[in-house]
Structure formats: C-alpha cells, structure tokens
Amino acid sequence: MEAVAALGVVAAAIQFLEFSKNEPWAPVLSHQRFLTFAAQHGLWFYVQRQLESEPSLGLRQESEPPLLAYPIWANQDLNYVTRPTEGTIKTIQVILSVSADPNECFFGHSVWQYWLTIVHAARHGEIMVDDYKSLQRITIYMLEAVLI
C-alpha cells in the first residue's frame, strides 16, 4: 500500500513539474506548494504524511486559499461536478482531521460556504452531478468537523 501511494506521489510530482514548466501560466503555478497540488489531486497519503510530520503546513498561506479548498474545488467546473474520487474524499477527511476549519474565510467566503453553494446548485439542477452520494459523504465530514 505504501509503495503504491509513494509511486503515485512521484508520478504526480513529475506531472506537476512538467506541467508548471511547459505552460504559459508557469509563474503562477510555481508559487503553488506541492502540498496544495497533492490535495487537489487526491494524494491523501502524501498529504497525511506531510501534515503528521509538520502540522503547520496545513495552515493557510497569506495569499492562497486554505488547504481544504483545493480538494473541494478539484472536481468541478462552472457547469458540472464530477464524482469525487476516493482519494479526494480521503484527502478531505485527512485535512479535516488535523483541525482544518471549514469556516475559515478567504476571498470573502468560507470553504463551507463554497461547498454549500455547490450542493445547492446541484440540488436545484444548476450544475450536473455524477454522484450525489459522494456529495453527501463530503457534507457529513465537513459537518462533523464543524460540530466537534
């Protein structure tokens, strides 16, 4: 299990480096920490290891959204929410387990508000959704984090 997860992290790191150096928006991506990239791509094992070894990594950096926002945003575009992978759901659980605050504000709103906007839009048919059960699971994890 650990070897497979480690290979996934290595492959993602290579993809990140190739992507960030070959694209015109590379200067923007080069400021993104690999931890946020891993969170956005469901590499929960890497995220868990990093946060366990240095919990301060989970703290919000001055000019970027909270770490929890990255896996939340990973599976959506303007009109469609794809089914979150098990890796994405597990990443959300890991980040919440280290005391991430879904109510932390950035850009005038919290991750919780962004998430409820996604759920509301899906419920009212404003965006298409692959899998409502995954949305329910993520909502429950976030509720548990807020209520604890």
- Computed over every residue of the chain, the mean pLDDT equals 75
> Alpha-carbon distance 15 to 22, whole Å?
11
Choice between 76 and 17, residue whose per-residue pLDDT is larger: 76
And the tokens for 49? 């290891």
> Alpha-carbon distance 88 to 91, whole Å?
5
Is residue 51 a contact partner of residue 95, using CB atoms and an 8 Å limit? Answer: yes
Is residue 141 a contact partner of residue 92, using CB atoms and an 8 Å limit? Answer: yes
Alpha helices in 41-97 (DSSP H): 44-53, 69-73, 86-97
What is the pLDDT, as a whole number, of residue 76?
Answer: 64
Q: Give residue 117's pLDDT band: very low, low, confident or very high (50, 70, 90).
A: confident
